Structure 1
Amino acid sequence: MENRKVRLRPFVVRMPSGDRYWTVLDEDGLVPIAEVDEFLRHVRFGRDQAESMTATYAGAIRLFLVWCARSGLDWRECAGRLGSFMFWLRHARLDGDPVVPGPGQQPVRGPRRVNTVLAGVREFLKHQVTVGNAPVAVLAMLYEVADDRDLPVEVRGEASGPRYYARARHRSAVPNAPVDRASDDEVVALLLACRTARDRLIVLLMARAGLRRGEAVGLRREDIHFVVDARHLGCSVPGSHLHVVRRDNGSGAWAKSRRSRAVPVDFLVVQAFDQYAVERARCTEAAFSDMVLVNLARPPAGAPVKPGAVNELLVRLSRRAGLERVVHPHSLRHAFATNVVEAGAAIDEVQQLLGHRSVTSTQVYLHPSPQRLRAAVDRVGSLVEGARS
Structure 2
Amino acid sequence: MVWLKYTPARGGGWVVMGPGAAPVRTESRINKILVATRGFLVFAVTAREAPGEVMDQLFEIGDTRDLPTVAQGEASRLRYRLRARHSLHEPETRVDRASDAEIVALFRVCHSARDRLIVLMLSRAGLRRGEAVGLRRSDLHLLPDNTVHDCRLQGAHLHVIRRDNPNGAWAKSRHNRAVPLDFLTVRAIDLYLIERDALSAAADCDFLLVNLFREPLGAPMPPDALNELFEALSRRAGLPRSISPHQGRHGFASNLADSGAMLDEIQMLLGHASPTSAQPYLHPSSDRLRAAVERVPSARGLLEGLR
2:31 corresponding residue in structure 1: 118
Pick the aligned partner of 1:108 from 9, 14, 23. 23
Question: Does the alignment pair 1:197 with 2:113?
Answer: yes
Q: How many residues align?
A: 296
**Residue 336 of structure 1 aligns to which amino acid in structure 2?**
F
Q: Give 1:132-211 correspondences, 5 Å limit.
A: 141=58, 160-161=74-75, 169=84, 170-175=87-92, 179-211=95-127
Kept in 1: contact 2:116–2:188 (CA 8 A): yes
1:303 corresponding residue in structure 2: 219
Kept in 2: contact 1:244–1:262 (CA 8 A): yes
Q: Which structure carries more relative contact order (alpha carbon 8 Å, separation 6+)? A: 2
In structure 1, distance between residues paired with 2:40 and 2:139: 35
Pick the aligned partner of 1:350 from 266, 270, 273. 266
In structure 2, distance between residues paired with 1:143 and 1:241: 51
2:194 corresponding residue in structure 1: 278
Kept in 2: contact 1:193–1:320 (CA 8 A): yes
1:294 corresponding residue in structure 2: 210
Q: 1:119 to 1:374 in 2, by over 3 A?
A: farther
Question: Does the alignment pair 1:315 with 2:235?
Answer: no
Question: Does the alignment pair 1:232 with 2:148?
Answer: yes
Kept in 2: contact 1:245–1:261 (CA 8 A): yes
In structure 2, distance between residues paired with 1:224 and 1:287: 17
Residues 302-330 of structure 1: CA distance to partner in whole angstroms, max 9, x if unpaired? 11101111111111111100011111111
In structure 2, distance between residues paired with 1:371 and 1:136: 61
In structure 1, distance between residues paired with 2:137 and 2:83: 42
Q: CA deviation at 1:89?
A: 5.1
| TM-score where L is the length of structure 1 | 0.63
* SS class of match (1:288): coil
In structure 1, distance between residues paired with 2:82 and 2:156: 41
In structure 2, distance between residues paired with 1:142 and 1:196: 56
Residues 281-321 of structure 1: CA distance to partner in whole angstroms, max 9, x if unpaired? 10111111000000112121111101111111111111100
**Residue 373 of structure 1 aligns to which amino acid in structure 2?**
L
Kept in 2: contact 1:88–1:99 (CA 8 A): no
Max Rg structure = 2
1:77 corresponding residue in structure 2: none
1:328 corresponding residue in structure 2: 244
| TM-score where L is the length of structure 2 | 0.78
Kept in 1: contact 2:96–2:283 (CA 8 A): no
Kept in 1: contact 2:27–2:90 (CA 8 A): no
In structure 2, distance between residues paired with 1:184 and 1:168: 44
In structure 2, distance between residues paired with 1:352 and 1:167: 35
In structure 1, distance between residues paired with 2:285 and 2:251: 12
**Residue 323 of structure 1 aligns to which amino acid in structure 2?**
L
* SS class of match (1:323): coil
In structure 2, distance between residues paired with 1:328 and 1:191: 14
* SS class of match (2:226): helix
Q: 1:194 to 1:184 in 2, by over 3 A?
A: same
Q: 1:192 to 1:101 in 2, by over 3 A?
A: same
In structure 1, distance between residues paired with 2:290 and 2:281: 17
Question: Unpaired runs of 5+ in structure 2?
Answer: none
Q: CA deviation at 1:142?
A: 6.8
**Residue 196 of structure 1 aligns to which amino acid in structure 2?**
S
Q: 1:191 to 1:122 in 2, by over 3 A?
A: same
In structure 1, distance between residues paired with 2:261 and 2:69: 17
In structure 2, distance between residues paired with 1:358 and 1:147: 23
1:24 corresponding residue in structure 2: none
* SS class of match (2:170): coil
In structure 1, distance between residues paired with 2:61 and 2:271: 28
Question: Kindly, what percent of the aligned residue pairs are identical?
Answer: 46
Pick the aligned partner of 1:254 from 160, 165, 170. 170
Question: Unpaired runs of 5+ in structure 1?
Answer: 1-84
Q: CA deviation at 1:129?
A: 5.4
In structure 2, distance between residues paired with 1:165 and 1:332: 43
In structure 2, distance between residues paired with 1:239 and 1:150: 45
**Residue 268 of structure 2 aligns to which amino acid in structure 1?**
Q
In structure 1, distance between residues paired with 2:69 and 2:188: 39
**Residue 285 of structure 1 aligns to which amino acid in structure 2?**
A
Question: RMSD of aligned C-alpha atoms?
Answer: 3.9
* SS class of match (1:206): helix
Q: CA deviation at 1:369?
A: 4.9
In structure 2, distance between residues paired with 1:190 and 1:182: 10
